[in-house]
């Protein structure tokens, strides 16, 4: 079916007359494509048009729309002549639905508090009157002693009842004030979330004949996004790993996404589509600072006169107006460094279309949405770094993970049906094999001890020689055999006066450049193994080596 479409770029067109003189039509939000930052909403409506020009106000539109992204289309040859968007700021104070509930509750509690104050005031007047009337004496009242005592007993009973009522009302007042304080704190927190009100869209159509048309409205809103999260399940150290790929979606667009189709994208419309252009890279000499200003002559070598200063880009800069630092001095510009900050996301522009419709309220809160479930073949091993942690960790190693379109994110780890903690998936630093940590295993006992018998500190001439020797003991108390990687290190020196010699890496796989040692051990049930290593450090007498112990 043929469509007429208008794309709004730059500023919106303004229509004369009052918006509310036009018929109103509610847009139905059908689709939300959620980016890592921002979202594109697709809404539809059906309108009945008369011949000639028609104007409609469309409601259920998000607030703070990116004007450059707004497009309106119509079917049946209807021409979209113009469109104007505006936020709904008619109320003196725009509040989120939750903030409105909180404010109403505060107002009601204020009424209840005033009622308690009124009761306390009445009880105070009553007790004052009784106290005043009780100031009598037997000689002036003509009452006998017995009658006077009876009167005083009556006053005592009434005063006691009034005081009890006052205690009850004071307790109510305290609870009300405490509740008011908490509601006030919640309201302040809610108002600080930057709630966006919904908007309205005034569209002007032209129809050659009276007709009906399907309307589609697309636009991008900034106050939305999603972040990945994962649940990882392993039943044992033999079967596959189950990975549940999920998304935490939030939106504060000012309208509720009610039963919409969701598409999650790893793209970012805020990055821009224009390819960069390189400018000449001019070199310049650095001149020392004088009286708080850089002593840079306009005619100095490598510099240019003031009429060309706008074109000077130092250190490979791209455009004018950018602030650079050279040896602590600010050079040329005011736009900040944001344009030089880049974020690298694996699987950029991958989209996940969610089959089931979801409802996402405009509350800025995280809402969990399932994306994919994977069952991944894995090989298992245990890993220990006893210098840093006394426990061994079970790890699952997965290949061919590139096809999963994973993003960096937090993971919840479950092993043998039990939650064991949180981990991280960082695909930016993974090569051909992804290693997932499945938590600690207390049944693998690892100990690292320094051998005191082989320890020695000797002074030879102007140098001190310290000898270190360590033994790592591992024991498998599980009922099945395991593979265990043990990692430790020997120190390395970048100072010619600090010398490491007599290195003994034992049976480890040793990297002389980094000092890293790795043992690949296999242990049957209840087996214990020991590995040892040692080294000597020589350094000048009278000096202290940092990090030696």
For 276-287, give the secondary structure using H, E and C. CCCCCCECCCCC
Cα-to-chain-centroid distance, residue 209? 52
CB atoms within 10 A of CB 229: 20
Q: What is the mean pLDDT of the chain?
A: 78
- As a 3-state breakdown, the chain gives helix, strand, coil percent values, each rounded to 5, of 20, 45, 35
CA distance 248 to 258: 17
Position 50 scores a pLDDT of 94
Position 489 scores a pLDDT of 93
DSSP-derived secondary structure for 360-382: E-SSS--EEEEEEEEEE--EEEE
Tell whether the model's pLDDT for residue 326 goes beyond 70: no
CA distance 71 to 251: 21
Report yes or no: 27 and 253 within 8 Å, Cβ to Cβ: no
Question: Could you give the 3-state DSSP secondary structure of residue 518?
Answer: strand
CA distance 211 to 5: 17
Report yes or no: 196 and 254 within 8 Å, Cβ to Cβ: yes
More confident site: 535 or 186 = 535
Closest CA to 466 of 491, 434, 496, 435: 491
Summarised one tens digit per residue, pLDDT across range 155-166 is 778 878 888 888
Position 135 scores a pLDDT of 60
Position 208 scores a pLDDT of 94
Report yes or no: 544 and 466 within 8 Å, Cβ to Cβ: no
Domains of the chain by range and CATH?
Answer: 3-94+197-222 (no CATH), 97-191 (1.10.287), 227-252+364-442 (no CATH), 271-344 (no CATH), 451-540 (2.60.40)
pLDDT band at 148 (very low <50, low <70, confident <90, very high): low
Residues 185-193: contacts with CB under 8 Å, at least 24 apart: 186/102, 187/99, 187/102, 187/103, 187/106, 190/96, 190/98, 190/99, 190/102, 191/95, 191/99, 193/96, 193/252, 193/364
pLDDT band at 510 (very low <50, low <70, confident <90, very high): very high
pLDDT band at 434 (very low <50, low <70, confident <90, very high): confident
Position 143 scores a pLDDT of 60
Tokens, residue 48: 């009945």
Summarised one tens digit per residue, pLDDT across range 211-237 is 999 999 999 998 899 999 999 999 888
Sheet holding 418-425, edge to edge: 367-376, 241-251, 224-234, 409-415, 418-425
Cα-to-chain-centroid distance, residue 21? 43
Report yes or no: 84 and 22 within 8 Å, Cβ to Cβ: no
Position 351 scores a pLDDT of 83
Summarised one tens digit per residue, pLDDT across range 337-396 is 223 222 234 445 678 888 889 999 888 889 998 888 888 999 999 999 999 999 999 999
- Which residue reads 């049976």 in tokens? 507
Q: E strands of 208-333, at which residues?
A: 211-221, 224-234, 241-251, 257-265, 289-290, 293-294, 324-326, 329-331
- DSSP lists the bridge partners of residue 47 as 213
Mean pLDDT of 124-135: 73
Tell whether the model's pLDDT for residue 467 goes beyond 70: yes
Tell whether the model's pLDDT for residue 406 goes beyond 90: no
Cα-to-chain-centroid distance, residue 377? 31
DSSP-derived secondary structure for 318-339: -SSS--EEETTEEES--S-SGG
Cα-to-chain-centroid distance, residue 268? 16
Closest CA to 48 of 215, 217, 216, 213: 213
More confident site: 519 or 106 = 519
DSSP-derived secondary structure for 175-204: HHHHHHHHHHHHHHHHHTT-PPPPEEEEEE
Position 516 scores a pLDDT of 95
CA distance 238 to 267: 37
- DSSP lists the bridge partners of residue 79 as 206
Buried b (16+ CB within 10 A) or exposed e, 269-282: beeeeeeeeeeeeb
Closest CA to 85 of 251, 197, 193, 5: 197
Number of H helices, E strands in the chain: 3, 31
pLDDT band at 29 (very low <50, low <70, confident <90, very high): very high
pLDDT band at 400 (very low <50, low <70, confident <90, very high): confident
- Which residue reads 């009302």 in tokens? 169
């Amino acid at each position: 079916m043929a469509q007429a479409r208008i794309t709004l770029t730059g500023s919106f067109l303004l229509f004369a007359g009052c918006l509310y003189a036009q018929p109103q039509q509610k847009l139905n939000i059908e689709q939300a494509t959620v980016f890592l930052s921002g979202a594109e909403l697709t809404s539809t409506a059906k309108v009945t048009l008369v011949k000639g020009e028609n104007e409609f106000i469309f409601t259920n539109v998000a607030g703070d729309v990116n004007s450059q992204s707004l497009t309106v289309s119509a079917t049946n040859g209807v021409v979209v002549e113009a469109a104007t968007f505006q936020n709904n700021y008619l109320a003196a104070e725009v509040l989120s639905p939750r903030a409105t509930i909180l404010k109403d509750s505060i107002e009601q509690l204020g009424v209840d508090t005033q009622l308690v104050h009124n009761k306390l005031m009445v009880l105070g007047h009553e007790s004052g009157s009784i106290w005043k009337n009780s100031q009598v004496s037997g000689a002036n009242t003509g009452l006998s002693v017995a009658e006077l005592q009876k009167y005083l007993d009556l006053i005592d009973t009434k005063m006691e009842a009034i005081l009890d009522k006052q205690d009850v009302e004071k307790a109510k007042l305290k609870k009300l004030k405490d509740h008011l304080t908490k509601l006030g704190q919640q309201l302040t927190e809610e108002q600080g979330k930057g709630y966006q009100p919904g908007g309205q869209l005034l569209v002007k159509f032209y129809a050659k004949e009276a007709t009906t048309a399907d309307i589609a409205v697309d636009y991008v809103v900034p106050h939305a996004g999603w972040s990945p999260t994962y649940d990882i399940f392993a039943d044992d150290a033999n079967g596959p790993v189950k990975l549940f790929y999920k998304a935490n979606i939030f939106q504060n667009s000012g309208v509720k996404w009610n039963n919409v189709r969701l598409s999650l994208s790893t793209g970012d419309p805020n990055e821009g589509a224009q390819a960069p252009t390189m400018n000449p890279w001019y070199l310049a000499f650095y001149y020392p600072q004088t009286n708080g200003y850089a002593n840079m002559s306009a005619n100095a070598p490598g510099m240019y006169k003031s009429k060309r200063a706008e074109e000077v880009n130092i250190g490979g800069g791209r455009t004018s107006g950018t602030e650079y630092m050279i040896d602590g001095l600010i050079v040329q510009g005011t736009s900040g460094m944001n344009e030089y900050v880049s974020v690298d996301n694996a699987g950029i522009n991958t989209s996940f279309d969610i089959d089931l419709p979801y409802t996402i309220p405009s509350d800025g809160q995280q809402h969990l949405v399932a994306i994919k479930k994977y069952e991944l073949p894995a090989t298992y091993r245990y890993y220990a770094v006893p210098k840093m942690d006394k426990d061994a960790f079970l790890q699952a190693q997965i290949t061919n993970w590139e096809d999963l379109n994973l993003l960096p994110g937090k993971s919840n780890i479950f092993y043998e049906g039990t939650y064991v903690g949180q981990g991280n998936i960082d695909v930016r630093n993974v090569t051909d094999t992804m290693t997932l940590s499945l938590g600690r295993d207390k049944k693998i006992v690892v100990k690292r001890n320094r051998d005191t018998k082989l320890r020695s500190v000797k002074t030879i001439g102007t140098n001190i020689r310290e000898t270190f020797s360590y033994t790592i003991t591992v024991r498998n108390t599980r009922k099945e055999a395991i593979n265990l990687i043990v990692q430790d290190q020997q120190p390395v020196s970048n100072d010619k006066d600090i010398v490491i010699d007599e290195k003994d890496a034992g049976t480890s796989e040793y990297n002389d450049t980094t000092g890293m040692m790795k043992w690949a051990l296999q242990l049957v049930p209840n087996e214990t193994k020991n590995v040892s290593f040692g080294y000597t450090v020589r350094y000048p007498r009278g000096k202290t080596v940092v990090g030696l112990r």
